[in-house]
Structures are given as C-alpha cells and as structure tokens.
Amino acid sequence: MEGYVTRRTTGPLRSLAVLWVCLLSSPGCDVGAVHENDAVSTGFEWPSSAQLDADFHVPRPPLSDETFPCSDCHDPEIPVNRQRRELQMAHTEIQLRHAEWGRWCLDCHDAGDRDQLRLASGERVPFEESYRLCGQCHGDKLRDWRIGVHGRRTGSWSGEKSYLLCVHCHDSHDPAFKPIEPMPGPRPPRRTP
Amino acid sequence: MTTHGTFGHFVVGSLREVTRGGLLYWGWIAGLLVLVGLGFVAYLGQLDDGLQTTSMRDQVSWAFYIGNFTFLVGVAAAAVLVVIPAYVYHWKPIKEVAILGELLAVASLVMCGLFVMVDIGRPERAWHLIPGLGYLNLPSSLLAWDVVVLNSYLALNFVIATYVLFSLFRGRQPRGWIFTPLVLLSIPCAIGIHTVTAFLYNGIPARPFWNSAILAPRFLASAFCSGPAVLLMVMQLLRRFTRFEIRDEAIWKIAELMAYAMFVNLFLLGAEVFKEYYSSTEHLIHMRYMFTGVDGKTSIVPYMWLSIAASVAAFLLFLVPWTRKNVVTLNLGCLLIWFGVYVEKGMGLVIPGLTPDTLGEIYEYFPSRSEFLISAGIFSVGFLLFTLMVKVATPILLGEFRVTPPARPTDGATPAEAT
Amino acid sequence: MNEANGVSRREFLCAVAGCTAAAAGSCVDVTHTPFFRERLRELTPDELGAIVARLADSYRERYGRDFEIGTEPAQDGVEFAYALDLSRCVGCRRCVHACVEENNQSRDPEVQWIRVLQMDKHKGIDFAHATPYYDPETVPEPGHFYVPVACQQCRNPPCVKSCPTGATWQEEDGITVIDYEWCIGCRCCISACPYGARRFNWADPAVPDEELNTRTHVLGNRPRPRGVVEKCTFCIHRVRQGLYPACVEACPTGSRKFGNLLDPTSEIRYVLEHKRVFVLKAELNTLPRFYYFYGT
C-alpha cells in the first residue's frame, strides 16, 4: 500500500488514493500517517499526524450524560438485531438521512462495544475520534478539516488552535447543515430632508 | 508718494467705490449678504452635527458640494480662456476682458476652496495638505495635484489682476513683458486645472462611469460653454452701467465660439451615450440611472433631461446668427447653457458616477436643505467677491480711480488703447 | 519627510501654537498632542508611546473605561491573507455583528465593515443584482448564495493611492490602516475603493460604554472621531498577537479562513494550493489578499 501512495499523486487524485487506502488497508490506517512520507511536489509540507495532534485539541463530542455511556442501556446480553426497521423503543427521534439507502445503525456503531464506533475495517474508534469514521467516506473533508480548511477553527493562526468535531456542526444521522436564523441586516441609508 | 501712502489711498478709495451705488446695487449686495448669513448658519449646524446634515452617505459619498466644486473649476478655467479670442482677434479692450476673466477665476476658485472645505469631515485639519507642514501625497493622489494646481492658478490670477490694477491705479501702464507672459501662462494653467480635476474622477477605475478617456475633453468642452456665458452677461452689464467700450462684434464672436464649444460638448456626450448603450455592458447601468432610472428609482432623471434640453436649446440659439445677435435670445441662451452645464456637472457627473455604488446598491441621493443653504451661501460669497472686485476694478480700468485724481479723459480714450 | 523638514515643521508648529505650548510645557510636546502630532507612521516608538498614553487618558475621560491601546508593529515573515468559502457561507451575518462588537463600530449611526450580499445562483457574482438587505426567517434561501465583502487588503490599494494626505497606508504585513487623527475626511478613498469597504463617520460614532471593546490597537479598533474614514483591519489588534480575526471565530459554518501567506503550512496556503480561488473585480488589478473559493 505504501508503494501506491508514494507515487506522489496530487490533488483530487491523491484524495481518492487516501480514500482507497482507508477503505482497503488493514486496521490502524491513519490518514495523517499515510501522508508523513508524502512529499508534495508543490512544495507544500504536509504536517505529520503527531504535529497535528500537538497543534490542535478537539473538544469532547456532544454527548450528554443521559445518552452516554450507551452501554448503560445497551446490555451486551440483549441479542443483536441487525435488521433495518422502524425503531420503537428508543431513539425514535432519529431520522436517518445519511446515505440511508445502504446503511444502518451497526455500520457505524460497534455492536460488540456500544460505547465505541466502528470503522469499515472493523477497527473500533472512540467517539472522540469520530472524524476517522466520517473520513472513511468524506476523505477530502477529513483532509481539509485536519489542515483547518473545513470547519471552524478558533484560537491562534500561528499557534494553538481549537477544532470542532464533525458532529459538533453536523448531526451524524442527518448531516446536512440546517438553515439558521440570520442576524439583523443593515439599515438602508436615509436622506436628510 | 510712498507705497504705503499709495496703498492707504487705494484702500480708502476702494471702500468709497464699493459703498457707492444705486438701489439695484445695494439690493443685490443685501440679498447676497442674507444668503451668506443663511449659509453660514447652516454651516454652523453642519459643524455641530457632522456631515449627517447632508444627504451624502457611504453609498454616495461625494455629491452636491463636489459637483459645485467641479462646475466652478470649469468656470475658473474658462473665464481665462476667453482671453484667447481676445488675442487672436486683436480686440481693443483685451486688458479689460483679461482682467474680468482673472477676477471671475479668482472668485470661482475661492468658491471651489469653500466647497472643498465644507465637504471634508475635518476642516480643521486642512493644514495637513500643506507640503512641509503636513504631507501632500504626491505624485500619486490626484486630489493632492488638484490642491497644487488650483492654488497655483489662484495665486497666478490674483497676482496678474493685482499687478495690472495696482499699476493702473498708480497711473502707470502695466509692463507688457510682465503682463503678457503671465496671461499667456494662465492659459495652459486654466486647461491644467480642469484636466487635473477631470483626472480626479477619471483615474478611479472602480467607477466605470468616470473611467472614460473623453472625460477630460468633456470637462473642457462644457467649461468653454459655461464660463464665457457668465462673462458675456457681465460684459453686457458693464457696457450698460459704465463707460466700458465693448463692441457687439466682440460679444457675438464669443457667442459664436461658444456655439462651437456647445457642439463639441453635445457631440462628446453623444459619443459617450452611444458607447454605453450600444455595447450595453454592465457599466451601462450608471447611464441608465441617469436617463431612465433603474428599478423605479428616478429622482435625478427629470433634471438630466432638463439639462440636455437646455443645452440643446442654447446650442440652437447660439448657432443661428439672428438669435445669437439678439440681446434677449443671447442672454436666454447664456442662462440655458449655464443651467445645462451646471446640472450636468453638479448632478449628472457625480451622482450617476456613484450610483449604483460599487456593490450594486442604489441609494437615491438628493441634496438636503442644509446642503442647498450652504451651497447658496458659498455662491453668494463668490458673487459678492466678484461684484466688489469688479466694482473696484472698473473705475481703475476706466482711469477714473487713481492715486492722483486724473483729469477726465476728454477724448474718450480708454487705457486699453495703450496696450 | 527628512529630519531637517521634521524639525522645521516642529518649530513652525511651536510658533503657531505658542500659547498652548507654553501652557502644556516644552515646545516639543506640541507635536505630541493629537492635533499637532505627525503622522503615526513617522513617529518613533517613544513618540508613539507618548501619543498612545495621551489617547488612553482621553478615552478614560470620555468613556470612563481603561483602554489597552496596542502598538505592535508588523512581524517579520508575516503577510496576512484571507480566504472565504462561498460554498459554505449561509449569509447569517454572525460575522457582521461580531465585527461590529469587536471593533467598536458605531451602532447609531450604523457603521458595519462587513457587508453580506445575497446573490442569485443563476446569475453568479453579479453586484448589479445583489442585495445586503435580505431578511428571511432562515438562511440560506433557496436559489441564492452569499458573498460577504469587507476590505480586500489589496496589494495595489486604490485607496492608498488616492489619499491626498497619506493618512492611509499599507503595513508590512499587508494590512491597510488609517491614521484617524491625520485623515481629513475628503472621502477620495471611498470613491476609489471598488469594494465599498470604507466607511465614513457621518456623525459622532456611538457605542454604549458597556459594550466598548477596550482591547484595541492604535491603527485599528480604538474609538474613532467623527468625520474620518474607517475600515476592516483584519482585527489588527488580534492578529498581531497571533489570534484569529473575530469574524473567523464567529462564523458558524467555518467559511472564513485566515493565516500567514508566507508560512507554507498555513491553512491559507493550503487553500491557495488545493482549491481554486478567485478575487473580486480582478480586472481592476487591485490584487486583493482576500480570496474567495468553493470548498466543495
């Protein structure tokens, strides 16, 4: 796999490659790590994963004490039901509008450990690293997010920055950005009589 | 006699001249003083409350004041340009014509300065424009250039007029080798001030309406229409009320030259209109705002059509020899062209240039009461200044007001003959 | 201005202001008063310090608040640039109001450095059909997109070129700033600016005392007088301390990107390298440091 990436593909091709690597690689695939060896011909230095982690801190995911840990309710003794169905006992508020034609709860939530998420590879990831799950499909967004171009950053342009997780802005079950109320517009100028 | 004594005599004599006049004269002076007072009070209000007392806003941030300024730069320039025909056609009263032009230029430039002063947000900081004391951003700022050329031109005209009048007052003929080069120098300077003022607008690519190469020629053409119109009327007044000898032929010749200028002015406007409407790019919107209005916003449209109608009518009156030579139609034409150019420069240049603004917003500017009052006040200052200067200059030019009371000329000769 | 001129100017001002100078103390002090001082960009650090101290005193007197007036100069190796993702901006105007509060813009009369324009999707970037006055229940409105416009921090700024007194200039880090005590309020810069970025104080700017942001920079968001021009400075008081501009932090969609153009690892360089960017009114050759791009 390394050989594939070090062909130094650039631009959209590279993001495809990243996606491809993620989808096919063994557990432990890390986009940042892949790029550590990826010297881009444009002169752009891709920061290493370690640098990124040092440069920003990700806030806690937006989980409430009522809903987390999930294992409070999801007893491992209950048999796993992988059937697509209308939920009636709990989570009835969730309307899945996120590639719902081909996806169901346990594609992302780990059946074995309800307090963790699950990558396509089967690797478990904590909610704190949910961006890795999102990045499986949205590789270009993950790339842009890591560098700070997708999503809001606060803090210092030259130093420590804060990120938000994907799920801070996007409802993971219905991720389209929702319309919001605008703040007041300017007052049109008025002539003096 | 010492110069000091001469000057004292000059001051006393001048005061005597300006305080001598009939009912009409005093009515005129009183009317102007009332307007000056009203304008001054309005300006105090503007100083108190800031420029919010005008109708200018960020969308249209130059307007009536700067339009008047631009128009008056044209008057100042063209007043002196009347000297050209005087030279070319060897008119006898050339010195009188020249001096009247210089005095009109001085009055116009004083008004220009006042219009700039009332337009700026911090008039007390105007000293920042004085090189050495402040900082004049040369060579890049066109307004900085305008400050330089307008002040130089004011100084030049002031020096010429003062030199000639004071020489005559002291009973000496102004020396040709001083007078002639200075007058000749003032001619390119006159073209210069109006060109630089045009470039002030012309050099702004953000405003496509102004960013047209024929803007400076248009400025000059319109100035050649409006400036001489004032002089024509002044010359007729002087002819009627004083012993000034100005022959009909001179007036008709100026009127004829004005007709050519009016044609060029209309032609250049037509060229501009064709270019905009035929190419019909996004830049057309400014001209549409001027002639038809945009989205029902039409507050300046009637003025623009009135201005064009007046300019065309004046052109026709001046074109036909009979109406050009008829006193009534001649003066009607002068008033029409004055109005036409005034509206074209005052409203038609500045407002559509800024409307819609650079982000596409249409704010319908119309001068506020305070702007009208202050502008009327400034015009009154200018007219007052011009009246008083002419009141003093006329008897000097006629040889009636001298340091030593002259013997009344018996042969009817005017000093002009000496040139 | 050379040294000789500077001295003679100072002497002249001393002569002009003889009485006030005598009252205020030494003659040199006169040029440190807000009225008689030189342009900010010509002052030595010491002189600037003295000016800033006087400004702070006058603000305390006027607003009853202690102001921190920064004088940080541009840093070496830093050139600021901005990028705005038009595919993400929803036109919510959070940036406008964050900017107003951060930068002490007058509430009434209203001064706003950012103008968010609503445009038609089928017309593209077309100012003639844009409006800043849209007022729906929620944004974005179907069929529309939004283009926030503020100072584009041009490399070739027409405003600086047009200023007759040199009261506005471009700093080493690319920010065009205004000396509020030197500006005469002629508004040449407003006419010259192709982006409607400059605002004039038509009346006394009014900010409620309790809403004043007392963290300021002498070239930026400190309280302005009436009759002068003001504009976006990329939040010079923040960015010269390493912080993001207020609008960047306020944007709920993360559309606003800011950083150092000279740092190859900055997000702004990433945008330039990996997205296709454009600038407004490129034909005017103003060479903005404010880029627009489509993140998706």
Interface residue of C9, C165, C224, C285 to substitute, partner B, most B CBs within 10 Å? C165
Nearest to A192 among B58, B364, B368 (CB): B368
Cβ contact A192–B370 (<8 Å): yes
Min Cα–Cα distance to chain A from B119, Å: 16
Q: Is the minimum CB–CB distance between C288 and chain B shorter than 8 Å? A: no
B144 domain residue, yes or no = yes
Domain that residue B95 falls in: 17-253+371-418
Q: Is the minimum CB–CB distance between B46 and chain A shorter than 8 Å? A: no
Cβ contact A188–B54 (<8 Å): no
ipTM of the complex: 0.90
* For residue B238, pLDDT beyond 70: yes
**Domain boundaries of chain A, sorted by first residue:** 2-169
H or E element in which residue C149 lies? strand C144-149
Q: Is the minimum CB–CB distance between C148 and chain A shorter than 8 Å? A: no
Q: Are residues C133 and C206 in the same domain?
A: yes
Which CATH number do you get for residue B47?
1.20.1630
pLDDT in tens, A90-118: 899 999 999 999 889 999 999 999 999 99
Residue for token pair 């881009």: A40
Domain that residue C23 falls in: 3-70
Chain A / chain C CB contacts < 8 angstroms: 109
B335 domain residue, yes or no = no
* Chains contacting A (3 or more CB pairs within 8 Å): B, C
Percent helix, percent strand, percent coil in chain C, to nearest 5: 30, 15, 50
How far is residue B338 CA from its own chain's centroid?
10
Q: What are the CA-CA distances from residue B387 to residues B15, B51, B234, B303 (Å)?
A: 13, 31, 10, 29
Give CA–CA dist C195/C115, Å, rounded: 10
Mean pLDDT by 10 residues, chain C (296 residues): 46 50 46 73 89 94 94 96 97 98 96 98 95 97 97 98 96 97 96 97 95 96 96 98 97 96 94 96 97 93
* Domain final residue, candidates C52, C70, C88: C70
**For range A23-30, the mean pLDDT:** 36
Q: Is the minimum CB–CB distance between C157 and chain A shorter than 8 Å? A: no
**For range B166-182, the mean pLDDT:** 85
Nearest CA in chain B to A191: B55
Residue for token pair 């205020």: C24
* For residue B27, pLDDT beyond 90: yes
- Confidence band for B352, pLDDT divided at 50, 70 and 90: very high
Min Cα–Cα distance to chain A from B367, Å: 8
pLDDT, position A26: 35
Question: Mean pLDDT over all residues of chain B?
Answer: 89
Sheet with C80-85: strands ordered across:
C256-260, C80-85, C290-293, C277-278
- Confidence band for A17, pLDDT divided at 50, 70 and 90: very low
Q: Is the minimum CB–CB distance between C96 and chain B shorter than 8 Å? A: no
User: Between these two residues, B31 and A84, which has the higher pLDDT value?
Assistant: B31
* For residue B84, pLDDT beyond 80: no
pLDDT, position B320: 95
Q: Which of chain A's residues have a Cβ under 8 Å away from the Cβ of C254?
A: 150-153, 164, 169
Q: Tell me the percentage of chain A whose pLDDT exceeds 70.
A: 70
B220 domain residue, yes or no = yes
Pairing of strands C176-178, C199-200: unpaired
pLDDT, position B94: 66
pLDDT, position A20: 41
* Chains contacting C (3 or more CB pairs within 8 Å): A, B
Min Cα–Cα distance to chain C from B209, Å: 12
User: Between these two residues, B240 and A19, which has the higher pLDDT value?
Assistant: B240
Cβ contact A188–B55 (<8 Å): no
- Confidence band for B92, pLDDT divided at 50, 70 and 90: low
Nearest to C92 among A45, A144, A180 (CB): A180
Nearest CA in chain C to A146: C267
Burial class (CB in 10 A: 0-12, 13-18, 19+), B388: middle
Range in B114-123, B158-167, B317-326 the model is least confident about: B158-167
Q: Is the minimum CB–CB distance between B2 and chain C shorter than 8 Å? A: no
Q: Which of chain C's residues have a Cβ under 8 Å away from the Cβ of B59?
A: 196
Structural domain count of chain B = 1
Structure tokens at C53: 């101290």
Q: Are residues C208 and C177 in the same domain?
A: yes
Min Cα–Cα distance to chain B from A154, Å: 30
Q: Are residues C288 and C197 in the same domain?
A: yes
* Domain final residue, candidates C12, C35, C70: C70
* For residue B366, pLDDT beyond 90: yes
Contacts for A100-105: CB closer than 8 Å, 24+ residues apart? none
Q: Which of chain B's residues have a Cβ under 8 Å away from the Cβ of A192?
A: 52-55, 368-370
Q: Which of chain B's residues have a Cβ under 8 Å away from the Cβ of C226?
A: 50, 121
pLDDT, position C31: 56
Label residues C110-123 b or e (16+ Cβ within 10 Å = b): ebbbbbbbbbeeee
SS3 category, C251: coil
Cβ contact B368–A188 (<8 Å): no
Cβ contact C254–A187 (<8 Å): no
Q: Which of chain A's residues have a Cβ under 8 Å away from the Cβ of B59?
A: 189
SS3 category, B154: helix
Interface residue of C139, C267, C291 to substitute, partner A, most A CBs within 10 Å? C267
Q: Which of chain C's residues have a Cβ under 8 Å away from the Cβ of A183?
A: 92-94, 96-97
Nearest CA in chain B to A193: B368
DSSP string across C208-236: -GGG---EEETTTTSPPPTT-EE---S-H
Structural domain count of chain C = 2
Nearest CA in chain B to C115: B359
Q: Tell me the percentage of chain B whose pLDDT exceeds 70.
A: 93
pLDDT in tens, A140-180: 999 999 888 999 999 999 988 888 999 999 999 999 999 99
Q: Is the minimum CB–CB distance between C257 and chain A shorter than 8 Å? A: yes
Label residues B41-70 b or e (16+ Cβ within 10 Å = b): ebbeebeebbbbbbbbbbbbbbbbbbbbbb
Q: Are residues C187 and C88 in the same domain?
A: yes
pLDDT, position B237: 87
* Chains contacting B (3 or more CB pairs within 8 Å): A, C
Min Cα–Cα distance to chain A from C83, Å: 9
Structure tokens at B308: 């064009």
Q: Is the minimum CB–CB distance between B49 and chain A shorter than 8 Å? A: no
Q: Are residues C118 and C247 in the same domain?
A: yes
Q: Is the minimum CB–CB distance between C253 and chain A shorter than 8 Å? A: yes
pLDDT, position C7: 46
Cβ contact C269–A44 (<8 Å): yes
**For range B279-290, the mean pLDDT:** 96
Cβ contact C164–B354 (<8 Å): no
Interface residue of C7, C190, C224 to substitute, partner B, most B CBs within 10 Å? C190
Range in B79-93, B165-179, B283-297, B405-419 the model is least confident about: B405-419
B90 domain residue, yes or no = yes
SS3 category, C157: coil
- HSE-CB of B127 using CA atoms within 13 angstroms: 13
Q: Is the minimum CB–CB distance between B55 and chain A shorter than 8 Å? A: yes
As separate numbers, helices (DSSP H) first and strands (DSSP E) second, chain C gives 9, 12
B127 domain residue, yes or no = yes
Q: What is the dihedral angle through the alpha carbons of B407, B409, B414, B418, rounded to the nearest 10 degrees?
A: -70
Q: Are residues C120 and C216 in the same domain?
A: yes
Q: Are residues C233 and C198 in the same domain?
A: yes
Angle between helices A11-24 and A130-137 in degrees, nearest 10? 120
H or E element in which residue B260 lies? helix B248-279
B388 domain residue, yes or no = yes
Confirm if B212 and B353 have CB atoms less than 8 A apart.
no
pLDDT, position B6: 78
Q: Is the minimum CB–CB distance between B222 and chain A shorter than 8 Å? A: no
SS3 category, A125: strand
Which range has highest mean pLDDT (B224-228, B293-297, B395-399)?
A: B293-297
H or E element in which residue B285 lies? helix B284-291
pLDDT, position B415: 43
How far is residue B68 CA from its own chain's centroid?
9
* Domain final residue, candidates C70, C91, C120: C70
Q: Are residues C106 and C197 in the same domain?
A: yes
Q: Which of chain A's residues have a Cβ under 8 Å away from the Cβ of C258?
A: 157
Cβ partners under 8 Å of residue C49, min gap 6: C71
**For range B407-417, the mean pLDDT:** 44
Burial class (CB in 10 A: 0-12, 13-18, 19+), B12: exposed
Q: Tell me the percentage of chain B whose pLDDT exceeds 90.
A: 64
Cβ contact B360–C203 (<8 Å): no
- Confidence band for B98, pLDDT divided at 50, 70 and 90: confident
Cβ contact B120–C166 (<8 Å): no
Query: Chain A neighbours among B 133-172 (CB < 8 Å)?
Result: none
How far is residue C100 CA from its own chain's centroid?
12
How far is residue B329 CA from its own chain's centroid?
22
Confirm if B405 and B171 have CB atoms less than 8 A apart.
no
Min Cα–Cα distance to chain B from A186, Å: 12
